[in-house]
C-alpha cells in the first residue's frame, strides 16, 4: 500500500524532533531511513504507522491492503519485544488474539509465518532458549502473521552480532520476495541500507529533515551477486559522505541531562 507523508513535523514539548518531511513511498517499496542518533528516525516510523500523531502535517495511505490483511501496519523492534512466558508459536499468534478467526485459520496463519521465518521446528520453544537471531525471527513472524500492508522496522538487526545480522539480511530478502508489503526500515547500519533498500532517505540532525534521497537502481534480489560488490561499497561510501559531518557534530554535542 503506498504511503504519503506531507509536511510532517513532530515536537515533544520543547524538543523539535522532526520538521517538514515530505515523502511518498510506493507500494512494495523498501525505504531505509538513516541519520545521526536522535535525529527523529523512530519518531518518523511511529508517525508513519500511526503509533504517534504528528504535530504538523499528515500521513495518508492509498489503495487497498492485501487480501487477508488483519492490520495494515505492523512493527519489528530492535529489542524483539517478546513475551518470555509464551512459546514461539504463542508469541507469533499474539496479534491474532481477539480477532474473529476460526482455530483453523489461526493455526494456518501461525504456521505460514513460522515457515516464512524458518521457525517451524522451534514452535514450542520459549524465547530464553533461543539465540538473538532466532528471537528476532520470532519478532518478524509476529509482524507478518497479520499480513500487513506496511511493515515498519526499527533497527531490527542492531542487537545482533555481525554474522547473525548477515544471515538475517538474507532471510529478510527472501521474505520480501514472498511477502508483497511496503517497508520502512530504520537503521544505523549503512550496509543494511545498501543491501535491503530501494531508496535510502538521509535525515539531518534534529530536527530531522530530509537531506538526501538515494535511489539504488539494482533490484535488491540481485545485490548479493559478486558483480555488484563494487556497487554496494559505492553506495555505502556515498551514504557515509552524506551523513559523516552530521554524525561528527552529534558526537561532539554536549547534551542537557
Ligand X SMILES: Nc1ncnc2c1ncn2[C@@H]1O[C@H](COP(=O)(O)OP(=O)(O)OP(=O)(O)O)[C@@H](O)[C@H]1O
Contacts with ligand X by CB under 6 A lie at 12, 15, 17, 37-43, 206
Q: Which is nearer to ligand X, 52 or 231 (CB)?
A: 52
* Partner interacting with residue 12 (select from ligand X, Mg ion, none; CB below 5-8 Å by kind): ligand X
Q: Which is nearer to ligand X, 103 or 257 (CB)?
A: 257
* Partner interacting with residue 140 (select from Mg ion, ligand X, none; CB below 5-8 Å by kind): none
Query: 8 pairs with which residues across the strands?
Result: 21
Using CB under 5 A as the binding criterion, the count of chain residues that bind Mg ion stands at 2
For residue 78, the 8-state DSSP code is T
* Partner interacting with residue 206 (select from ligand X, Mg ion, none; CB below 5-8 Å by kind): ligand X
What is the C-alpha to C-alpha distance for residues 74 and 95, in angstroms, rounded to an integer?
Answer: 10
- Residues recorded for the chain: 257
Using CB atoms, what's the residue nearest to Mg ion? 42
Q: Which is nearer to ligand X, 104 or 257 (CB)?
A: 257
CB 72 within 8 A of CB 63: no
Q: Which is nearer to ligand X, 146 or 201 (CB)?
A: 201
How far apart are CB 38 and ligand X at their closest, in Å?
A: 4
Scanning the chain, the segments in alpha helix (DSSP H) are 41-48, 88-92, 103-116, 132-144, 162-178, 190-196, 229-251
The contact pattern for Mg ion, residues 26-45, with x = CB under 5 A and - = no contact, is ---------------xx---
What is the C-alpha to C-alpha distance for residues 18 and 245, in angstroms, rounded to an integer?
Answer: 19
Torsional class of 193: left (φ above 0), alpha (ψ -120 to 50), beta (otherwise):
alpha
How far apart are CB 170 and ligand X at their closest, in Å?
A: 25
What is the C-alpha to C-alpha distance for residues 234 and 253, in angstroms, rounded to an integer?
Answer: 29
Q: Which residues bind Mg ion (CB under 5 A)?
A: 41-42
Amino acid at each position: 500500500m503506498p504511503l504519503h507523508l506531507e509536511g510532517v513535523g513532530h515536537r515533544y514539548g520543547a524538543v523539535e524532533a522532526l520538521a517538514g518531511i515530505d515523502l511518498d513511498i510506493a507500494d512494495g517499496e523498501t525505504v531505509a531511513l538513516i541519520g545521526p542518533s536522535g535525529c527523529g528516525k523512530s519518531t518518523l516510523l511511529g508517525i508513519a504507522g500511526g503509533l504517534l500523531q504528528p504535530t504538523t502535517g499528515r500521513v495518508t495511505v492509498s489503495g487497498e491492503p492485501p487480501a487477508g490483511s488483519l492490520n495494515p501496519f505492523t512493527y519489528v523492534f530492535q529489542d524483539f519485544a517478546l513475551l518470555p512466558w509464551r512459546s514461539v508459536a504463542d508469541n507469533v499468534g499474539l496479534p491474532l488474539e481477539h480477532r474473529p478467526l476460526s482455530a483453523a485459520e489461526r493455526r494456518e496463519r501461525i504456521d505460514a509465518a513460522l515457515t516464512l521465518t524458518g521457525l517451524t521446528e522451534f514452535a514450542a520453544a520459549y524465547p530464553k532458549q533461543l539465540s538473538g537471531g532466532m528471537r528476532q525471527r520470532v519478532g518478524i513472524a509476529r509482524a507478518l502473521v497479520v499480513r500487513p500492508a506496511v511493515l515498519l522496522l526499527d533497527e531490527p538487526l542492531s542487537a545482533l552480532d555481525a554474522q547473525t545480522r548477515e544471515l538475517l539480511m538474507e532471510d529478510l530478502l527472501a521474505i520480501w520476495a514472498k511477502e508483497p508489503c511496503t517497508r520502512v526500515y530504520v537503521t544505523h547500519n549503512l550496509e543494511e541500507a545498501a543491501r535491503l533498500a530501494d531508496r535510502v532517505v538521509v535525515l539531518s540532525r534534529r530536527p530531522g529533515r530530509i537531506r538526501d534521497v538515494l535511489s539504488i537502481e539494482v533490484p535488491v534480489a540481485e545485490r548479493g551477486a559478486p558483480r555488484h560488490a563494487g556497487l554496494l561499497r559505492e553506495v555505502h561510501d556515498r551514504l557515509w559522505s552524506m551523513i559523516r559531518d552530521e554524525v561528527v557534530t552529534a558526537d561532539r554535542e554536549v547534551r542537557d541531562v
